[in-house]
């Protein structure tokens, strides 16, 4: 199952044709695997979830520049948290968060999803994300910023006295070694 509200990434923002994440997933799994896509999964689909091995839920922000991206609440748009949680309650779920900055990750999302990928608005090519999801390339990287627990923590600086992030500056994953990378 594939659910999401930001499939085209920035395809609509430019004239360049790229591969959507949905198309890349379909190509990666081939014709023998059924991919079901719903922008917002229906109750009927979730009720029949026993037939699903796993779900990929892609949520996040539309591409923005300058003040067009102002959002003082930093919540995942289009009910992204609710969609991810509803799916993850029924099906093992990978959540991909497309954003240009850390967003609020509510506890139910983190508790119920099997994995979270911060995709940092990767542009118009979904194939790169599919490549790492399906193991053609390893995930590797460190957070370039501290990921806050709550908006009222902002600004969140690593050298602050009351530094208590959800994920610290430099947190990350290196699938080659299977180990979490130590924060800076």
The per-residue pLDDT for 111 is 95
Encode the chain (184 residues) as per-residue pLDDT tens digits: 555 544 333 444 445 567 889 999 999 999 999 899 999 898 899 988 788 889 999 999 887 766 777 788 999 998 999 999 999 999 999 999 998 889 999 999 999 999 999 988 766 688 989 999 998 988 888 889 999 999 999 999 999 888 999 999 999 877 665 555 555 4
Q: Distances in Å between the alpha carbon of 38 and those of 57, 65, 86, 141?
A: 10, 28, 13, 30
The per-residue pLDDT for 10 is 40
> How far apart are alpha carbons 85 and 104 in whole angstroms?
14
> How far apart are alpha carbons 58 and 184 in whole angstroms?
28
Domains of the chain: 21-36+53-137 (3.40.50.1700)
DSSP code at position 136: S
pTM of the model: 0.84
The token duo for 70 is 């102002």
The per-residue pLDDT for 70 is 78
C-alpha triplet 173, 24, 138: angle, nearest 5°: 20
Q: Distances in Å between the alpha carbon of 48 and those of 38, 51, 83, 169?
A: 14, 7, 16, 40
β partners of residue 3: 38, 57
């Amino acid at each position: 199952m594939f659910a999401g509200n930001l499939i085209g990434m920035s395809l609509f923002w430019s004239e360049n044709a790229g591969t959507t994440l949905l198309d890349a997933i379909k190509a990666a799994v081939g014709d023998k695997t059924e991919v079901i896509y719903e922008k917002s999964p229906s109750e009927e689909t979730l009720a029949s979830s026993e037939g699903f091995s796993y779900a990929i839920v892609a949520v996040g922000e539309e591409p923005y520049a300058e003040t067009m991206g102002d959002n003082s609440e930093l919540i995942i748009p289009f009910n992204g948290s609710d969609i991810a949680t509803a799916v993850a309650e029924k099906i093992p779920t990978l959540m991909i968060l497309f954003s240009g900055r850390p967003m609020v990750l509510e506890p139910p999302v983190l508790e119920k999803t099997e994995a979270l990928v911060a995709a940092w608005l990767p542009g118009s090519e979904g194939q790169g994300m599919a490549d790492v999801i399906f193991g053609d390339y390893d995930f590797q990287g460190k957070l370039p910023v501290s990921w806050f627990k709550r908006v009222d923590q902002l600004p969140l600086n690593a050298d602050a006295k009351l530094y208590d992030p959800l994920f610290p500056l430099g947190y990350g994953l290196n699938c080659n070694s299977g180990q979490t990378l130590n924060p800076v």
